[in-house]
Amino acid sequence: MSIGRIQLPFSVSVSRGGAGTVTIGLLYAAIYLKDWASQWLSGTTAIVVLTTGLLIGALALLTRGKVARPIATSGWVIIAVFSAAWLLTLATKGVVNMSSYYIAIPCAFVIVNLNPRRFIQILLVHLLITLLIAAYEYFSGQYFFIYQADDGTDLDEKLFGGGLDVFRAKGMFQGPLSAVAFALWIAFLMRGSVPIAAALFLCAFFASGRLGMLTSTVLGGYRLLAGRAKSFQRNLPWLFGVVLVAAFLFKYSDENRIQFISSALDLENDQNVSRVYFWLTSLNYYFSYSPLDFLFGNYGFILKQEGGTENDFLRLLLDCGLVGFGLYAGAIVVLIKQAIRRRDREDLLIALLIIGLMNIFPFVQSLSSALLFWVYFFATVDRSSSPRRDANRLKP
């Protein structure tokens, strides 16, 4: 009996040639294998691999002729605004803005116009590997690998444990929040999939990602209730399985972990109070910017001053200015408008979840997540502009 199917986004892969395959492979390696490979390779190597992939991909797009239409032609507008802002920042300030928020845009555009379905298939395998490694880390109490930050700090079990000494699994990523953010984006991309929502819950639990667990519950519950009768029956085994596994995991969790998870909704919790401090401090910094920084940002400033913002929209304003903020906010507005126009409740729910998550923690801050923001955007735009839905499916 089939207990679930995963339908891939994007109605078509524009190019299946060698250049497209090479580009997808290089970008995947540079972005999603970088953390694990940092044990042997320098960050400079990852930049070289990423740049090579972008150049090969750009060349493939320029030379393919009229083989197929580009996915999401509105993406050219986004690329034009991004390029203008990036070049103006360089011209007026003499600074190369290397923000992940910016780098993700050309990477996503190249991927979705070459072979997006192959890229997403690779990411599904990456999610499975991350989930298996996270389970091993959770039960063994030690990381598969320890990532070392640029300043020499080891991002180890003790660092991510915090004051309560709670172990937080991270799989193939440098930290648990990055792993949870990745699983969240895959759950958003795999529209209607209850199994992927279940995978998100497990990944979030192993990482003690409270927002991830809450989001997976909302998303999975909606997908179960909104599906047709056959779909509901097909997904019931996943529901029972996840409930049993979750009950087992919670029953045998130590008191510190339970306290850490339950404190997520405590507004007087130290972590939640400090989050408000970061927000207010970040706003004060932004409104004290010069007119030039107000428009184009001051990349790296807030990282040196406070270490972060705990909010993607504020980080966008500080690092990329009003222009960079406008790119992401504009994309979200488009998602909401299209969902309302099509009366697509799941798309609307996901757009609202994206807004909430970007406000509460650095959901799109890493390149791996910022890339998936734009892949999701282009996938949604492509679906709304395609008269036919692709029937190809993957059985997990």
- What one-character DSSP code corresponds to residue 69? P
Q: Give percent above pLDDT 90 in the chain.
A: 44
Q: How confident is the model at residue 72 (pLDDT cuts 50, 70, 90)?
A: low
Which residue did the predictor score with more confidence, 8 or 229? 8
Q: What's the average model confidence in pLDDT over 48-65?
A: 87
Q: What does the pLDDT read at residue 243?
A: 74
What does pLDDT average to over the chain? 83
pLDDT in tens, 320-364: 999 999 999 999 999 999 999 999 999 999 999 999 999 988 899
Would you say residue 139 has pLDDT above 50? yes
Q: What does the pLDDT read at residue 76?
A: 75
Residue 244 to residue 196: CA distance in whole angstroms? 17
Q: What does the pLDDT read at residue 29?
A: 96
- Least confident segment among 102-111, 132-141, 230-239, 272-281: 230-239
328 close to 101: Cβ distance less than 8 angstroms: yes
pLDDT in tens, 328-339: 999 999 999 999
Q: What does the pLDDT read at residue 341?
A: 92
Q: What's the average model confidence in pLDDT over 88-98?
A: 85
Which residue did the predictor score with more confidence, 67 or 19? 19
Q: What does the pLDDT read at residue 65?
A: 55
Q: What does the pLDDT read at residue 394?
A: 38
Would you say residue 70 has pLDDT above 70? no
Q: What does the pLDDT read at residue 231?
A: 64
Which residue did the predictor score with more confidence, 149 or 376? 376
3-state secondary structure at position 378: helix
Residue 154 has phi, psi (to 5 degrees) of -85, 120
Would you say residue 314 has pLDDT above 80? yes
Q: How confident is the model at residue 10 (pLDDT cuts 50, 70, 90)?
A: confident
Q: What does the pLDDT read at residue 156?
A: 81
Q: What is the pTM of this model?
A: 0.88
CA 154, 155, 161, 167 torsion: positive or negative? Answer: negative
Residue 16 has phi, psi (to 5 degrees) of -115, 20
Q: What does the pLDDT read at residue 13?
A: 57
Which residue did the predictor score with more confidence, 132 or 243? 132
Q: Give percent above pLDDT 70 in the chain.
A: 81
- Domain residue extents for the chain: 16-386
Residue 389 to residue 9: CA distance in whole angstroms? 9
Would you say residue 258 has pLDDT above 70? no
Nearest one of 9, 59, 56 to 30, comparing CA atoms: 56
Would you say residue 370 has pLDDT above 90? yes
Q: How confident is the model at residue 2 (pLDDT cuts 50, 70, 90)?
A: very low
Which residue did the predictor score with more confidence, 164 or 179? 179
Which residue did the predictor score with more confidence, 324 or 392? 324
Q: Using the CB atoms, write b or e for 244-281: b if 16+ within 10 Å.
A: eebeeeeeebeebbeebbeebeeeeeeeeeebeebbee
**Spacing of C-alpha 311 from chain mean position:** 14
Residue 292 to residue 323: CA distance in whole angstroms? 11
